[in-house]
Amino acid sequence: PTSSEEWLIIPKIFTKKWNFPLCIGVIDGKHMRSPANAGSSYYNYKGYHSIVLLAMV
C-alpha cells in the first residue's frame, strides 16, 4: 500500500473474507525435517523430529 486509504482497505478484506477484523497480515507455519544426527534438539510434541518454519506476510 502506498497511501493511508489503501491501508484501510486491507482490514476490510480480512473481515469480509475470513471474519478477522482489524487484521493486516498473517503468520503461517510448517514442520520441516530436522538435520541428520541432531539428537533430541528438534524433537517436538507430535513425537518426531522437525523444525518449524514460520512465515509472516
Tell me the C-alpha to C-alpha distance, in Å, between residue 30 and each of 8, 12, 16, 50, 52: 30, 27, 26, 9, 6
C-alpha cell at 35: 538435520
Nearest-angstrom CA–CA distance, 23 and 31: 25
Burial level of 31, CB count in 10 A (0-12/13-18/19+)? Answer: middle
Q: Inform me whether the pLDDT recorded for 47 exceeds 90.
A: no
**Per-residue model confidence (pLDDT) at position 16:** 93
Predicted pLDDT of residue 5: 92
pLDDT digits (tens, 9 = 90+) for 2-34: 999 988 898 998 899 989 888 888 888 888 888
Locate the domains of the chain by residue range.
25-57
